Structure 1
Amino acid sequence: MLKKFRFWLFFLSLLICVYNATGLDDKNLLLFLTSPHLLLLVDYSRYIRAIGNEEIQMLIWYVINVIGWFLIGWLVDSLITKLKRK
């Protein structure tokens, strides 16, 4: 499990979310600059802002970040497994 990209990318994304939630990343630069999938979704942020509650908005960004990095890690692990079989 410790040799899998999905674990480490998931873990690092959790650390970034915790760092952001503590308020040390007040402009969300670390959160968005380390997550290309969040940068792609910035255009759709008006739908998230329509919710109104800022805590829930940030929670949605955190969930998207963590799930996105898990899926990216899963994809990398799958590609590595396919390459090792050949």
Structure 2
Amino acid sequence: MEKAQIVKMGYVIQNYLEKTKLVDAKPKDLMPTLIEKGYFKKDHSEGLPLRNVLRDLDEVNLLYLLPQVRVERKETNRFWFFNPLNI
């Protein structure tokens, strides 16, 4: 996924989080909206497509492109959470 598309996806995520007032939303919570907006075709394994994008961004130190995301790193897994930015 291109950087510009990821930044645009961040705006969609921010809007969704503000509208729903979710706290620590998980990737599976965001997938229906991201599919509706055309970022993904379908959801596999409760948010796997979004988690794959997040993993790829994390590996190249580009997570800042989605400022709503917070990651908890464990020994073998990473857990992703989304919260709206306070602007």
| TM-score, shorter chain, exceeding 0.5 | no
* Greater Cα radius of gyration, structure 1 or 2: 1
**By percentage of residues, which structure has more strand?**
2
Q: TM-score scaled by structure 1? A: 0.29
Highest relative contact order (Cα 8 Å, sep 6+), 1 or 2? Answer: 1
